[in-house]
Amino acid sequence: MASPPDPADGIVGRGFAPGGLQRVACVLCGGTDLRRTVRLRERWLLTCGECGVRLTDTYAEGAPVADYYSDVQAHHGKLGDSLAQSEGALRAIARDQADEMEGLCGPRRFGRFLEVGCSRGHLLQEMAARGWDVSGIEVSRTSAAAAGSIGGVHCGTPEDAPFTAGSFDRVGMFDVLAHLPDPRRTLEATVRLMAPGASLVLSTVNEDWRLVPLFLRAFKVAPERTAHLRDEMYEGQHYCYFSASNIGRLLESVGLTVHEIRPLEPLSTRFFVHQYSPRRRLMLLGMVQMDRLLRSSRKMLVLAKKPGRAF
């Protein structure tokens, strides 16, 4: 019986998100001092010399992005081969995300919940079961169609969503920020939909992870030997990479107040590690133990709130 594909191979197999547009300014500060940091498979990773945000030198917007995500599903290459395996993993991830939100925001189980990047609706289903009225926004046509039976799902982006301004009490945005061509514009549209006092919980990559400088040096010195690790750290679907030291600046620029930033163990070691080769599995689990000692992680979980009184 053939062994399942290694998730690292799956990441390579889904290809890069579309390019075509040249990045000329930083998505956070607008600075133009964008320095080449490391060569990826099809593009360069740049670092803003003014604020430290990392971003790819090319990106796309609109229809090409929607077409790409309509063909490539969430966690492509990381889920099990069977439908039962993939659905089980996605339900487990959704329960974990709902628990993380309750850990940050408290055990409230009523109100209107919006997920930006709701994929096929597993978190919407979990939040509905916990008492919330749920809605979603998803750019992928295939995923939005699958999620449509669970709640009111808009196929598109927050910028063109038809929801009433100020109508959501809690917003989840899990592993979405790095995929956005213009994070500030999308967050501004999301904040418009939030009620006064509403909470935004997001997870994203953290470039302040203590091992990042070590790995960047390795990628430059031995690019072929470190190619798989580089592809996982800087996935082909990502356009930008924030850190715990600059994510607050982004969120405050759109009118939110940051309440907490905490390390978050990556999904790959919590839900997909058994699918890696034994060697990679040991390396990943070793890094998790190191992260726990250093109180650091490649991912971060952020709680921000819109000013005003919550009801």
- pLDDT band of 2, cuts 50, 70, 90: very low
Encode pLDDT of 26-80 as tens digits.
Answer: 999 999 999 999 999 889 999 999 999 999 999 999 999 999 999 876 654 555 5
Hey, CA dihedral for 177, 182, 187, 189, is it positive or negative?
negative
Question: What is the residue whose two structure tokens read 């030291």?
Answer: 245
Tokens of 140: 């992928």
Which residues are paired to 112 by β-bridges? 133
How does residue 82 score in pLDDT terms, banded at 50, 70 and 90?
very low
- Cα gap 129→226, rounded to integer Å: 43
Selection from 305, 179, 303, 127 nearest residue 135 by Cα: 127
CA distance 228 to 126: 33
**What's the pTM value of the predicted model, to 2 decimals?**
0.90
Average pLDDT over residues 119-140: 96
Q: Please enumerate in sequence order all residues whose Cβ is within 8 A of that of 231, keeping only pairs 6 or more positions apart, or say none.
A: 8, 11, 12, 40, 41
Task: Tell me what the pLDDT averaged over the chain comes to.
Answer: 88
Tell me the C-alpha distance between 91 and 123, whole Å. Answer: 8
Q: What is the pLDDT of residues 144-196, one digit of tens each?
A: 999 987 879 999 999 999 999 999 999 999 999 999 999 999 999 999 999 99
pLDDT of amino acid 288: 76
Helix or strand holding residue 59 (H, E): strand 58-59
Q: Which fold has domain 7-305?
A: Rossmann fold (3.40.50)
- Both tokens of 255, joined, read 């009118």
Domain ranges of the chain: 7-305
Report the relative pairing of strands 44-48 and 54-56 from DSSP bridges: antiparallel
